[in-house]
Amino acid sequence: MEESFKAIVEVLIVEILFFLVAWCLQSIEASNYGWTSKTFMMILGMAGVILHKKPREYGLIPKNLRFDLKWGSYILIIFILTSLSIITISIFFNCLRPIKFSVIITDLLWFFIFVGFAEELFFRGYIQSRLNEVFDRRFKSFLWVRFEWMEGTLITGVFFFGLPHILTAINPFTGRVALTPLIFVITISACFIGVVLGVIREKSGDILLPTVIHGAIDFTTFGIGRLIGLALSNIAAGIALFLFLLLIFEGMLRDRA
């Protein structure tokens, strides 16, 4: 109990520190604070890994690069084909929006590195690994797939990754409060996605594959959203995620490679 309490307090302090700095940066830089806040998140995540001196156990060093590349390629193919299909429909109905190529490149960098990698390093690399050291009770299956995964993964995905999405709608330094129904839908979805990514991180042994999935979801939702609008891009992301879970999720968890 004492060790689990220490771990919870440790990661809670680190996450509170991140939000305090992010809120402060948002009050100073307004719309451009994301780049600096995510950089700070990467620094915190890396510091957590270095502090515990377990870069491989904390997922920073790939354990099975062939596995990551194989399933990462399948996932990207699903998201790319789904996005191209929705973009084609948008072209047919003449509702495609003009966008500069440089913006697409910037979005790829932002969503795969400053969102995908930063958050996976912080949540699945540092926090999940730290909590799984003390919350080691194992579940026998996830969704419909028989696969052993740990209690720390559930705690991280729901309480440290998913539910804190509500905090993105407020800022005590500026007095901003935007708790709309949409933010609650996003928070519930993030709880589910957080556990999915955590289970995949357990299977792969590192954060590379969760980073690819995280980046693909967000780029499809928001990056492709610049081209076709957020309504259609959310549909595209939802379809791609559904196809991933339906077609390859079980095979990935059962892969013995």
Q: What is the pLDDT of residues 16-25, one digit of tens each?
A: 999 999 999 9
Residue range 63-74: mean pLDDT, rounded: 96
> Mean pLDDT throughout 119-127?
98
Average pLDDT (133-156) is: 96
Q: Model confidence over 194-217: pLDDT tens digits?
A: 999 999 999 999 999 999 999 999
Q: How confident is the model at residue 1 (pLDDT cuts 50, 70, 90)?
A: low
CA distance 214 to 211: 5
pLDDT score recorded for residue 44: 98
Q: Which secondary-structure segment (H or E) carries 215?
A: helix 208-218
pLDDT, mean over the chain: 95
Contact 168, 15 (CB under 8 A): no
pLDDT tens per residue, range 146-184:
999 999 999 999 999 999 999 999 999 999 999 999 999
- The reported pTM is 0.95
Q: What is the pLDDT of residue 94?
A: 85
Whether the per-residue pLDDT at 31 is higher than 80: the answer is no
Q: How far is CA 35 from CA 20, 46, 65, 161, in A?
A: 15, 17, 28, 19
For every residue of 78-144, DSSP letters joined together read: HHHHHHHHHHHHHHHTT-PPP--HHHHHHHHHIIIIIIIIHHIIIIIIIIHHHHHTT---EEEEETT
